[in-house]
Structure formats: C-alpha cells, structure tokens
Amino acid sequence: MKLRELLYNIIDVTFDIEIKGVTCNPKRVKEGYLFVCISKEHEKCISDIKTSAIIANFMVHDSRIYILHPNPQEIYSKIVSRFYQFKQPKYAAAVTGTNGKTSVIEFCCQIWQNAGYNAASIGTLGMYTNNERKANHNSLTTPDADDFYATLCDINSKGIEYLALEASSHGIDQYRIHGLELTAAAFTNLSQDHLDYHQNISKYFKAKKRLFHEVLSKEKTVILNANTDKYYALLKIAKKRGNKVITYGEKSSNITLIKQVPALNGQYLTIRISNEVYNVFFPVFGQFQACNLMCAIGIAISSGLDYKKMCIDKLISPPGRMEKVKPFVFVDYAHTPSALKQAILSLKWHFNKKIVLVFGCGGNRDQAKRAEMGKIAQMYAEKVIITNDNPRDENPTEIRRDILLHCPDAVEVEDRKEAIEKGIDISYNKGMILLIAGKGHERFQIINGQALEFSDVEVVRNYAS
C-alpha cells in the first residue's frame, strides 16, 4: 500500500513510497515498514530503528521520511486497521490483571449475546462468538499482533460489533493490541506472576498500567476494582486523562456487592448498581467469581446495556474455571499463589468439606511461585498431591522438590494422570472435594519441549471411581 493512500484523511502527505507493514513495536520493524512512535521511551532509540518512514511528534534530521503529528497514539489504530483491512468494532473493552481476565471477558460475551448483541471474546480460551469457540493454538493469552489483526478481520466477517479481550502484561509490553481502538479498559487485581519476564512486581504493574495511559485513548471509560491496592494509582491516571470511571467492589462503589450466599449449584448475590438493589442467582462456582461478574457488569453498562437485560442467572463458567466435572471434582486454571488460595477457600465456602488438592508448577516460569503455592497448599488443603504441570524444558523432579520443601505433608506422584486418579479415589472414599489446579482448559502437557495430548477434564471423565 502506498504511504499517501495509507494516510489519506489521517495525515495529509504526498510521499508515494510503498509500505509493507505498520508497527509501533521497534522490535518488529522490517524494511519497508511504517513505524509509529507512540512511546516516549522509543524517542531515545529512534536512530537505531531501521525503517523508511516514521510518524512521531518530533523530528530527527536523517535520510528517512519523518511525518509530524502531535499525538501519534491517537491515529495509530486508524492506520493499522486501514493497512490490515479490518474495521474497528463498535465497542471494544480490554481487561488486564493477574487473575480473572478470562472469566470477565467470557461473562461479558455471554451477557451481550443473551441480550441479542453480536459479540465476541478473545483470550486464553481462543475466540468465542455465536456459541462457537475457535481454539487458541499458540497458548498466548493475547495473540501476537499479526494473529490479532487476522482475528479482527475474521470478526468483521461475522458482523461482530461488541468485543471483550484479555490484555496480558506480555501483550501490552509487546504492543500486540495497540492497533485496536478501545472504548474501555478494565482492571481486576494484581498478585505475583510472570516475574521471570518482568523481574519484579513493580515492573509487572508498570506493564499493566500502560493499558490505561498508552493503549486506551483519553476520555474513554475505565472500570476499576476498588478493593485492590492498585486502585488509587489507576484512578489517578484515569482522572488525569479525563476518563469516565466505573468502580466495583465490596464498599461504596458504582457496583457494590452487598451480600453473597453460597449454594450447592452456585451463589445468591445482592448487588447495588448506583441506587438500585438487585437480588440474583449466579449459577457459577467460586466466591471470587462475584468480583469478576461485577467487572463484567461494569463493562456491559459502559457499552450501553441496561442491567435488567443482562440475564445473570443464565451465565455459565468458562471451561477450566471452577469447572464441575463430577459432583465432588473441580478443575481450575489456578496457577498463581493468590488464585490457588481463592480456589481452595471457595470450594470450602460452597460445600463446607475438606479439600484434596492435586497440582504442580510450570517449568521455565516464575520459580518464586513454587514456594508460595506450596505454603498455601500446606495451609489450606487437607490432602495434597504434588505432580507435574507443564515442566517444559526444566527437570520436573526439581520443580516438584521446590514445592515439596514448603509442603512437607504432601504426597508426590510424578505422573499427572495417576495423581488425578489417586485424588479421585481419596476424595470419593472420604467424602471430600477434589480440586485439580493449574492447567484448567488445557488439552496438552508440555514435557521436554513436546506438547503431548492431555486434559485434566478428560482424565476425570474417563476414570470410573
């Protein structure tokens, strides 16, 4: 595509060079690409970026074409959608946070679809639209930029107008979603995860914050969890940028959880939205899921949907998220210390029974989590079986040992299938609840670089206790 054609009605230029790609990520620039400088950090390295044309809010005197614009971020999504030939959705919300992203976007999609909207979600579980799911084959929570743009083209062909997507810290840091014109951005919570990539919790949160000051445009909508200690930092960013703010939580928020009562098939909630109080049955397991639901309600409200049309009592759990496989067996994706604790306590809250826990930790990932998850298992579960998760290229024996050092009462069973079957037998014979944590919806296990077919859910279904 010619540069003049690409920027028509966006920036008035006369340059007629051929553009082979568009990016704001300096690591993805190739010969013939247009680089759009949307980050102040990239101003320092602009001379090292090998490209023919650059859009920026400053000039450097060299042989490349520089196109001045006061706010390149403002026009980036328009340029990207024109080059990759997709239409921006009518409404798009991105959700970030350590835990809960998948549940929030899945609840959003279900709420919209139940209200008659043509909606989709994109995240860890792949793309979900019109009651059909296109699996995620690359294991990325947020697709890489090229796959993401291809997915947006696919969404266009289906007439999707409402979109909710997961924005992982990796996805934000690597500029995978910067080409999407967001209507809203939401934050769930922050706890230890991905420190193998971000090095420390401060840098991890810094990546998350970029969704609100770098990806989301000014004067759009921000949905914030008022219960998290990061609330005020994000609220400050939102106010500075003139964003509309919707808050949710257990104290005086726009969406407030007043009462929560467990049931054997879900939970009863009393929620206040503005000045109206609603009593509703929420047919989903997990005490923490009420918080994810309120985030989804905030997103749906920001899209213009009235709460009375949301059909909360028709929602279902996403695959691998507190998924009830047998009356006493649950599979959950909990792979962080915080998520594991919440999953165990939630099952106790629902059933008032002792917990058998089967779990492991992933290889080539944040090793500090292993000790913390071991301590949580030792403290909150009555019977623990340590097994393999996705060891990847690490020695699985050493991973299990790292956990066992902090969970000395646990039983070690290397083979995950055998561990699950042992957990089923114990929980069935002793009237306990079994939680199988860590892999959730996954249909493979990565060992020595090989992805082998494996599903926690299928192991449970195929085992006759």
- Going residue by residue through the chain (465 aa), what tens digit of pLDDT does each one get? 999 999 999 999 999 899 999 998 888 888 899 999 988 777 777 888 888 899 999 888 888 899 999 988 889 888 999 998 889 999 999 999 999 999 999 999 999 999 999 999 999 999 998 778 887 766 678 887 878 888 899 889 999 999 999 999 999 988 889 889 999 999 999 987 877 787 899 999 999 999 999 999 999 999 999 999 999 999 999 999 999 999 999 888 999 999 999 999 999 999 999 889 999 999 999 999 999 999 999 999 999 999 999 999 999 999 999 999 999 999 999 999 999 999 999 999 999 999 999 999 999 998 999 999 999 999 999 999 999 999 999 999 999 999 999 999 999 999 999 999 999 999 999 999 999 999 999 999 999 989 999 999 999 999 975
Question: 301 near 273, Cβ under 8 Å?
Answer: yes
Q: Are 168 and 289 contained in the same domain?
A: yes
Final residue belonging to a domain, choices 266, 283, 314:
314
The reported pLDDT for the residue numbered 110 is: 97
Q: Are 93 and 235 contained in the same domain?
A: yes
Residues 6+ apart with CB under 8 A from 261: 267, 268, 269
Q: Which domain holds residue 298?
A: 86-314
Q: How many alpha carbons lie under 13 Å from residue 451 in its C-beta half-sphere?
A: 6
What are the beta bridge partners of residue 249? 256
Q: From the centroid of its chain, how far is CA 78?
A: 24
CATH classification of the domain holding 281: 3.40.1190.10
Nearest to 247 by CA among 165, 163, 186: 186
The reported pLDDT for the residue numbered 135 is: 76
Domains contained in the chain, number: 3
What are the beta bridge partners of residue 235? none
Q: Are 254 and 107 contained in the same domain?
A: yes
Q: Which long-range contacts (CB under 8 A, 24 or more apart) does 108-114 make?
A: 108/164, 108/296, 108/299, 108/300, 109/164, 110/314, 110/315, 110/316, 111/296, 111/297, 111/300, 111/305, 111/310, 111/311, 111/312, 111/315, 112/162, 112/300, 112/303, 112/305, 114/310, 114/311, 114/314
Q: Distance (Å, rounded) from C-alpha 71 to C-alpha 4?
A: 19
Q: Are 116 and 230 contained in the same domain?
A: yes
Nearest to 294 by CA among 324, 263, 267: 267
HEC assignment per residue over 140-170 = CCCCCHHHHHHHHHHHHHCCCCEEEEECCHH
Q: Distance (Å, rounded) from C-alpha 310 to C-alpha 296?
A: 10
Question: Is the whole model's pTM more than 0.75, yes or no?
Answer: yes
Q: Are 75 and 90 contained in the same domain?
A: no
Q: Are 67 and 103 contained in the same domain?
A: no
Q: Are 127 and 268 contained in the same domain?
A: yes
Q: Distance (Å, rounded) from C-alpha 368 to C-alpha 195?
A: 8
**Residue 134: count of CB within 10 angstroms of its CB:** 14
Distances (CA, A) of 39 to 7, 70, 148, 188: 20, 13, 21, 25
Q: Distance (Å, rounded) from C-alpha 78 to C-alpha 416?
A: 47
The reported pLDDT for the residue numbered 77 is: 86
Nearest to 391 by CA among 433, 362, 351: 362
**Residue 439: count of CB within 10 angstroms of its CB:** 26
**Residue 232: count of CB within 10 angstroms of its CB:** 11
